[in-house]
Amino acid sequence: MAHHVCPWWLGYFLISPLRRWQYDPAKVVGPYVREGMTILEPGPGMGFFTLELARLVGPSGRVVAVDVQPKMLDRLKRRAAKAGFIERLDARLAGRDSMGVKDLNGKVDFALAFAVVHEIRAAERLFMEVSETLKPGALLLFAEPRGHVKAELFKHELEAATQAGLEIVGHPSVRRSQTALLKKL
């Protein structure tokens, strides 16, 4: 699924505590996540949002994090273990043309695609796979960095999401981001 993928070593900058000034994970995902949920996070990197998602779902929930880079997943697993969340994490290596999440079809309560869709060769395929995993009425928070992803590309990505059976229900405010909150029909 990789197109122009962020180098794995850049992941260290993406988990920097300084990044919390721009994006507080609890504020970004907190309104949508509850204990016991199953969460899907394509492109988690080293887990900037993943660890907060794991904290919020509690011991009865689970976060399925899918990435194309084994080194990102290795670091994510180490960080989750250190935080005491490894049992809540299902870290998966995506294939070239699929996330490999068919076993989750109709089982996901919430999905987060944060600053990742622009790195995917086929946004249509990604949104279709995410849509298939979501329960009816479940939400996907989709965000792209405003300076990095042009408005026209974001519009194209949103069209791919709606074609996959997701309805735009809002545009949450996330600093320096273009966002959409999408609901599975």
Q: Is residue 145 part of a domain?
A: yes
Distance CA 141, CA 66 (A): 16
26 in any annotated domain:
no
- The mean of the pLDDT values for the chain is 90
CB atoms near residue 116 (< 10 Å): 22
**Number of structural domains the chain divides into:** 1
Confidence of residue 22 (pLDDT cuts 50, 70, 90): low
Distance CA 73, CA 185 (A): 31
With a CB cutoff of 8 Å and minimum separation 6, the contacts of 17 are none
Q: Output the pTM of the full model.
A: 0.90
Structural domain contains residue 25: no
Q: Is the pLDDT of residue 12 over 50?
A: no
Query: Does residue 130 sit within a domain?
Result: yes
Instruction: Identify whether 1 is part of a domain.
Output: no
Residues 26-41 have pLDDT tens digits of: 999 999 999 999 999 9
Where in 25-117 does DSSP place strands (E)?
A: 38-42, 62-67, 89-93, 108-114
- CATH number of the domain to which 63 belongs: 3.40.50.150
